[in-house]
């Protein structure tokens, strides 16, 4: 009976697929670009954006095009690349990407994961060009886009424009009078049309001459087996119109067929697969911890770290980094008079700071998976239910014999990128700030404006956090989890979706072994962790890996000096 029912469901799904393309905009999924065979859209946690991007690249044999969103404006925190070929303007890469290229054949001789083996990368018998859209939306949106009940749409990069249809006048880059598909649109640069809320299409540059490889390499670890020879780079430029240094609405995207939201050119569509930095049951919000991923799975260890602005030093030695332990971290991120409000209360110093050395926090908004891993790791002695400061608070302190009111400033960002920008902004303002982010993030300004904090004796800068997490020396990580929106819509899993999910469990992609050589610092499939856990603050399951038993370091390496 169950087999009969399952066959009826699959037959109905197949009929739907015949009636309309699997990824047509009419059923909520973005359409694949012209000339391509198939695509998938992977959304959710910003802490796992780099891991998902690295995995996606490992499945590509060659990359032919890369599109990436960029924010531009006077108050934008500039990164190391000039992306609009105008050095006079500030611009920064955003975590919304489209990759086009050919896939590895799983049975192909020379497949970097091993031809015909369970760790082979790519798909079976690929034909033509394929596309991956990878977005950083936050864990809550990753859950909401792929949960079993009432899933919602989220934002993805949209070269096809706000109508969701390729080769129309609003395709990114198309100017007034352009002919979409002939001299503008997909595969072309262009000035776009209009400005502000009235704009028809966003401008597209060649990323200032930066290569397709380079506009990804700032974040992802590029697999050595993925070729970028001849790949084209395209940057969709969104202007920071309200001058807050951020890009509004990118996580949710513009509803198909509507006018642009304030600044953003991403489009609001279904994900195929959605991810969170940790399982739904780990979230404090009842709306999230009662949700269930459709076709859900736990994939690996998503590793986090703490970072402080470069002006924060050890109090007794300005050449040394500040070093923190659990009680100090908990005190730093709490609010009010009974928290750590002055850097010297935790052994730090901010010489000549603009705010009497008051602590400034760069945190995340509710629904962030990174925020929940932070809570469940450092506040665990309070049952994991103590929340961090969500707003500015005032502390009464005596400094130099004078009663002083210190303001503990709090800035909450929707994504990891906004935490990085907060740290950079606080350093520029000569304030000492601390934030949390995934371990793959590194300063991308020259010179750097922040550094990794040694926590419980472990400095991410001088240690391989994957090794330490694998061997039980480092506990600031959560079990990356995810689901599949297509399962809710009774669409059989596609080869691309399966490859992406399998790849996140594939130790060969992430362990820095030839030929892939992707030494990714913040993610490790659970099959490569000796001490695994299915929830962030749950019990560990011993899972020793005999072949690597003698590779566990006896103790962490010493911390680096402050930059």
Percentage of the chain with pLDDT > 90? 70
Question: What was the pLDDT predicted at 20?
Answer: 31
Helix (H, G, I), strand (E, B) or coil at 332: helix
The answer to whether the CB of 200 falls within 8 A of the CB of 162 is: no
- Alpha helices (H) along 273-396: 286-289, 326-333, 369-378
Pair 119, 248: CB distance under 8 Å: no
H-assigned helices in 107-241: 139-144, 214-217
What would the DSSP string read from start to end of 209-276?
G--TTHHHHTTS---TTSB-TT-EEEEEEEE-TTSSSS-TTTTT-EETTS---SS---EEE--SEEEE
- Nearest one of 516, 500, 528, 508 to 52, comparing CA atoms: 500
In degrees, to the nearest 5, what angle opens at C-alpha 244 toward C-alphas 240 and 250?
A: 55
Rounded to a whole number, what is the largest CA-CA distance in the chain? 81
* Average pLDDT rounded to a whole number, residues 287-296: 97
Token duo for residue 254: 């513009």
Residue of 155, 178, 154 whose CA lies nearest to 168? 178
Between the alpha carbon of residue 449 and those of residues 79, 153, 360, 376, 458, the distances in Å are 11, 35, 15, 28, 21
Torsion of CA 66, 121, 268, 370, to 10 degrees: -100
Verify cis geometry, omega within 30 degrees of 0, for the bond prior to 390.
no
On whether the CB atoms of residues 291 and 144 are closer than 8 A, the answer is yes
Predicted pLDDT of residue 549? 58
- 8 A C-beta contact, residue 24 and residue 347: no
Quick check: 369 pLDDT over 50?
A: yes
Strand partners, 483: 274
Residue-wise pLDDT for 44-92, tens only, equals: 999 999 999 999 999 999 999 999 999 998 888 878 788 887 776 889 8
- Distance, in Å, from the CA atom of 347 to the CA atom of 349, rounded to the nearest integer, reads 7
- Sort 404 into a burial class: Cβ within 10 Å, 0-12 / 13-18 / 19+: middle
Whether 1 shows a pLDDT value over 80: the answer reads no
pLDDT in tens, 129-159: 999 999 999 999 999 999 999 999 999 999 9
Share of the chain above pLDDT 70, in %: 93
Return the DSSP state at 536.
T
Q: What is the mean pLDDT of residues 105-110?
A: 97
Average confidence (pLDDT) over 330-335: 92
> What is the SS3 assignment for 482?
strand
Which helix or strand (DSSP H or E) is residue 510 part of? helix 507-510
Q: Is the pLDDT of residue 2 over 70?
A: no
Tokens read off for 433: 């700030």
Q: Answer yes or no: is pLDDT of 261 > 80.
A: no
- Phi and psi angles of residue 138, each rounded to the nearest 5 degrees, phi first: 100, 150
* Helix (H) / strand (E) containing 363: strand 359-364
- Run of H or E including 484: strand 477-484
Of 473, 483, 468, give the one whose Cα is nearest residue 524.
Answer: 468
Which two structure tokens, joined as six digits, stand for 300? Answer: 């690996």
User: Is 50 exceeded by the pLDDT of residue 39?
Assistant: yes
Helices (H), 33-134: 49-59
pTM of the predicted model over 0.95: no
Look up residue 519 and give its two tokens.
């030494």
User: How does DSSP classify residue 282?
Assistant: G
| DSSP 8-class letter at 32 | P
CATH number for 302-470 (one of 3.40.190.10, 3.30.420.40, 3.90.1150.10, 3.90.550.10): it is 3.40.190.10
- Listed in sequence order, the residues at least 6 apart from 347 whose beta carbon sits closer than 8 Å to its beta carbon are 314, 315, 316, 322, 323, 328
pLDDT tens for 180-207 read 999 999 999 999 999 877 889 999 999 9
C-alpha to C-alpha distance for 67 and 424, rounded to whole angstroms: 26
pLDDT confidence band for 99 (50 / 70 / 90): very high
Tell me the per-residue pLDDT of 456-506, one tens digit each, with 9 for 90 and over: 999 999 999 998 999 899 999 999 999 999 999 999 999 999 999 999 999
For the chain, give the mean pLDDT.
Answer: 89
SS3 call for 289: helix
For residue range 351-363, list pLDDT tens digits in order.
889 888 999 999 9
Please state, in angstroms and rounded to a whole number, the distance separating the CA atoms of residues 366 and 414.
8
Average pLDDT over every residue of 150-170: 95
Q: How far apart are CA 94 and CA 203, in angstroms?
A: 15
Q: 55 and 509 in contact (C-beta within 8 Å)?
A: yes
DSSP state of 320: B
């Amino acid at each position: 009976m169950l087999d009969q029912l399952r066959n009826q469901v699959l037959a109905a799904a197949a009929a739907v697929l015949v009636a309309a393309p699997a990824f047509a905009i009419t059923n909520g999924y973005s359409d694949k670009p012209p000339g391509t065979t198939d695509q998938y859209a992977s959304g959710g946690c910003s802490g796992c954006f780099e891991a998902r991007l690295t995995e996606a690249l490992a499945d590509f044999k060659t990359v032919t095009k890369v599109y990436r969103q960029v924010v531009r404006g006077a108050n934008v925190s500039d990164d190391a690349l000039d992306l609009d070929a105008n050095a006079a303007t500030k611009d920064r890469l955003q975590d919304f990407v489209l990759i086009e290229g050919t896939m590895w054949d799983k049975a192909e001789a020379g497949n970097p994961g091993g031809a015909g083996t369970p760790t082979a990368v790519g798909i079976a018998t690929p034909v033509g060009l394929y596309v991956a859209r990878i977005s950083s939306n936050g864990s809550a949106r990753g859950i909401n886009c792929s949960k079993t009940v009432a899933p919602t749409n989220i934002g993805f990069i949209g070269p096809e424009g706000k109508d969701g249809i390729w080769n129309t006048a609003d395709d990114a880059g198309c100017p007034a009078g352009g002919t979409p598909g002939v001299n503008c649109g997909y595969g072309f640069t262009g000035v776009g049309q209009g400005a502000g809320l009235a704009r028809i299409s966003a401008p597209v540059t060649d990323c200032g001459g930066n290569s397709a490889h380079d506009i990804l390499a700032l974040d992802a670890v590029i697999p050595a087996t993925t070729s970028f020879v001849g790949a084209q780079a395209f940057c969709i430029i969104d202007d920071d119109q309200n001058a807050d240094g951020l890009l509004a609405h990118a996580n949710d995207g513009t509803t198909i067929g509507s006018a642009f939201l304030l600044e953003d050119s991403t489009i609001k569509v279904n994900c195929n697969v959605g991810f969170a930095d940790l399982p739904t049951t780990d979230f404090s919000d009842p709306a999230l911890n009662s949700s269930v991923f459709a076709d859900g799975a736990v994939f690996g260890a998503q590793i986090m770290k703490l970072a402080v602005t470069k002006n924060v030093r050890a109090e007794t030695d300005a050449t040394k980094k500040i070093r923190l332990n659990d009680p100090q971290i908990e005190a730093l991120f709490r609010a009010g008079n009974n928290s750590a409000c002055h850097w010297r209360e935790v052994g730090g110093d901010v010489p000549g700071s603009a705010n009497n050395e008051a602590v400034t926090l760069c945190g995340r908004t509710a629904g962030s998976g990174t925020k929940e891993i932070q809570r469940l790791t450092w506040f665990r002695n309070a049952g994991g239910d103590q929340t961090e400061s969500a707003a500015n608070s005032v502390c009464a302190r005596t400094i130099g014999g004078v009663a002083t009111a210190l303001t503990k400033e709090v800035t909450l960002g929707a994504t990891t990128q906004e935490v990085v920008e907060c740290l950079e902004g606080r350093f520029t303002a000569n304030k000492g700030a601390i934030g949390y982010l995934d371990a793959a993030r590194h300063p991308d300004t020259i010179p750097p404006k922040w550094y990794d904090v040694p926590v419980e004796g472990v400095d991410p800068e001088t240690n391989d956090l994957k090794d330490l997490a694998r061997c039980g020396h480092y506990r600031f990580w959560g079990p990356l989890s995810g689901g599949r929106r297509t399962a809710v819509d009774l669409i059989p899993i596609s080869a691309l979706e399966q490859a992406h999910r399998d790849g996140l469990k594939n130790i060969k992609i992430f362990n820095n072994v030839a030929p892939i050589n992707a030494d990714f610092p913040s993610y490790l499939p659970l099959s490569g962790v000796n001490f695994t856990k299915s929830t962030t603050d749950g019990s560990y399951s011993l899972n020793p890996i005999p072949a690597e038993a003698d590779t566990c370091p006896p103790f962490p390496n010493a911390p680096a000096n402050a930059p």
